Structure 1
Amino acid sequence: MELLQLQYFCKVAKLEHMTKAAQELHIAQPALSKTISRLEEHVGVPLFDRNGRQIQLNAFGKAFLKKVEAALSLLEEGQRELIDLAGMERGRVMVATTTHKCFSEMIGSFMSLHPDVQMRITQASSEEKEQQLQKGEIDFSITFPPLELDGIDGVNILTEEIMLAVPPTHHLASRDSINLAEVAHEPFICIKEGNPFRAMTDAFCQQAGFAPNIVCEVDEHSAISHFLHAGIGIAFLPETLGDKVNSLRLIRLERPFCQRTYQLAWRKDRYLSVASRTFRDYVISYCAGLQKHSTVATSEEK
């Protein structure tokens, strides 16, 4: 059994398409097919079900894939640890994050301070980030809500208030704060279902004793302001987006108190390189500064 066979097997298992896998691996399709066949001969069972040109991972293949992914992850970590010990690594950090403005600025700041560190940043759904973390495909995930999974460690790095955004002509625009129940009959502009933010805001409304009257659903927060300006409804927005909605009115929600917390998560048994540990320390310090600034600003407003 060769390392290359295992790497090729993982790629075919992921795509379940021999031609596409060969293209991504930059090898000829017949050569890839032969490699997979040799691997199946070695393990003694077929790893894929084949039906003409269709290929699908079978029960043997699924069981084998879990072990192969774990083995390849350990080998990669071992290599990184040896390079660290030899003092040769210039650094590499792999992060799955959100589109949050604070985090893009934070990562850009880190890269400016550490130009030798190679950053690989991906945007992914909560489910994808969780899977990538558990498989060892990334070093860190920046996510909300915080993950509570066996084998995953993490630290809460940023808590932000969720505000109610209304057009400047809205009858509540003069208010600094309200109870959420006061807008039970207002039309809402919301993020689409399936997004963690939507699940969170629906839960806020449930705590306040009502289900939101949703008149418009959008894919992301950047689209909400357009409909707010059109006077279609009101919307939940994170406080950190306040500088992007200067012409709108942000109102603090007192009951229930609405906020969300972001977590920096990593796999407990994954070796973290010097670069990764440096990044983790920087994120914690950077977000602590943001949180302190936010607390001071809130106190001054009061």
Structure 2
Amino acid sequence: MITYPNLYHLKYFVDAVALGSISGAAQKNLVTHPAISRAISALEKHLGTPLLDHRKKSFKVTEAGYVVVEQAKVLLAAASEFETLSLKLPAEETVVIKIGLSRTLSTAYLNPLLQEIKRKFPLSTVQVRFGTTNEIIEAVASGSVDLGMTIGSQSLATLKQTVVKKGQFLLVESTSKSDSDKRIESKSFILTEPRFETEKLRAGYRKQFGKTLPTLFEISSWEVIAQQVQRGLGVGLLPDILVSNWKAGSFRVLKAAWFDCPYGIYLHSLKARPQSQVLEFTRDILASRRP
């Protein structure tokens, strides 16, 4: 079994040689004279060689003693640096990370994300908050959420905002009921709360047909809108990510040359907030995920 010298013994010995005095080393280290002497004796016993040639009121450093002094300085310097290191491994980092996103995005992103965080950081806790785009962005800006994920964004100087995916808003209706009239102007629409895409649709419809868009329901949830569309209740304005897993042939996309509305999926975090390893890992996973 390999044994190592006591670092305190090394320090006492180095200080005694540097100061030329056992008493001086004792004063510097706030210990007694005998404590320094015992430490040096223990070090000599450990190394199996005398380090000091003791005289009546002084000592002389042996050749071996000078070698040990130089090596001890290296060890003590390394030990000093070691104390300042953060040696916490990623898998041992214990933090609480708060994520905000819409239920639409949670379907594609949340389950695989939580599995990856649990695998990589088993001691961490993830708190998930659902909300609209505006609610999530406001939560990130206020600091109540660490990382937000939304369809669409706002321009806020305090936020770091990154587009991780692009998509398209679609006009979708169910094929479950026969509809002999395929004209878009004969349809009724189901929309979310006023947003960029809803207002663009209203404006385009008015310009194209000279009348107000016939709105059947306004529902602040794309998931609930999707449910109503699947029941055949109207045409829903939905992000394509939501219908990507729908059964082929169960819906149709209505084409309108006067309406084209792309979107971006954004990641939001505060620019000024320190980024933990868990947060950076979460951001990387979400940015690389392709639903």
Question: One fold, TM greater than 0.5?
Answer: yes
The alignment status of 1:256 with 2:259, answered yes or no, reads: yes
Q: Which letter maps to 1:145?
A: G
Instruction: Decide whether the 8 Å contact of 2:164 with 2:264 is kept in 1.
Output: yes
Match of 1:188 in 2: 189
The alignment status of 1:99 with 2:103, answered yes or no, reads: yes
SS of equivalent to 1:146: coil
SS of equivalent to 1:85: coil
* Structure 1 residues 267 and 119: CA distance shift in structure 2, 3 A: same
SS of equivalent to 2:110: helix
Normalising by the residue count of structure 1, what TM-score does the alignment of the two structures yield? 0.55
Residue deviations 1:60-92, cap 9 Å, x none? xxxxxxxxxxxxxxxxxxxxxxxx935262343
TM-superposed deviation, 1:261:
1.3
* Structure 1 residues 137 and 278: CA distance shift in structure 2, 3 A: same
Q: Which letter maps to 1:131?
A: E
Structure-1 separation of matches of 2:226 and 2:138? 32
Q: Which runs of 5+ in 1 are unaligned?
A: 1-83, 174-181, 291-302
Match of 1:203 in 2: 200
Match of 1:238 in 2: 239
Matches within 5 A, 1:275-290: 275-286=278-289, 289-290=290-291
Match of 1:224 in 2: 225
The alignment status of 1:133 with 2:140, answered yes or no, reads: yes
* Structure 1 residues 103 and 212: CA distance shift in structure 2, 3 A: farther
Q: Which letter maps to 1:203?
A: K
SS of equivalent to 1:282: helix
* Structure 1 residues 131 and 111: CA distance shift in structure 2, 3 A: same
Instruction: Decide whether the 8 Å contact of 2:204 with 2:259 is kept in 1.
Output: yes
Structure-2 separation of matches of 1:167 and 1:131? 34
Structure-2 separation of matches of 1:200 and 1:228? 18
Q: Which letter maps to 1:213?
A: P
Structure-2 separation of matches of 1:114 and 1:252? 44
Counterpart among 149, 166, 169 of residue 142 in structure 1: 149
Match of 2:116 in 1: 110
Structure-2 separation of matches of 1:255 and 1:106? 37
SS of equivalent to 2:103: coil
Residue deviations 1:148-176, cap 9 Å, x none? 11121110112222222123223477xxx
Counterpart among 143, 160, 170 of residue 163 in structure 1: 170
Match of 1:34 in 2: none
* Structure 1 residues 114 and 212: CA distance shift in structure 2, 3 A: farther
Normalising by the residue count of structure 2, what TM-score does the alignment of the two structures yield? 0.57
Instruction: Decide whether the 8 Å contact of 1:136 with 1:267 is kept in 2.
Output: yes
Structure-2 separation of matches of 1:187 and 1:225? 14
* Structure 1 residues 136 and 207: CA distance shift in structure 2, 3 A: same
TM-superposed deviation, 1:95:
0.9
Question: Larger radius of gyration, structure 1 or 2?
Answer: 2
* Structure 1 residues 137 and 230: CA distance shift in structure 2, 3 A: closer
* Structure 1 residues 172 and 202: CA distance shift in structure 2, 3 A: farther
Instruction: Decide whether the 8 Å contact of 1:163 with 1:239 is kept in 2.
Output: yes
Residue deviations 1:83-125, cap 9 Å, x none? x935262343211111022222442343354251321111133
Structure-1 separation of matches of 2:131 and 2:221? 14
Structure-1 separation of matches of 2:252 and 2:215? 20
Structure-1 separation of matches of 2:231 and 2:99? 37
* Structure 1 residues 261 and 170: CA distance shift in structure 2, 3 A: farther
**How many correspondences in the alignment?**
194
Structure-2 separation of matches of 1:284 and 1:115? 18
Q: Which letter maps to 1:249?
A: R
Structure-2 separation of matches of 1:147 and 1:201? 16
Structure-1 separation of matches of 2:138 and 2:219? 26
SS of equivalent to 1:161: strand
Structure-2 separation of matches of 1:237 and 1:121? 23
Calculate the aligned-residue CA RMSD, in Å.
Answer: 3.0
Instruction: Decide whether the 8 Å contact of 2:113 with 2:285 is kept in 1.
Output: no
* Structure 1 residues 172 and 162: CA distance shift in structure 2, 3 A: farther
Counterpart among 122, 125, 129 of residue 129 in structure 2: 122
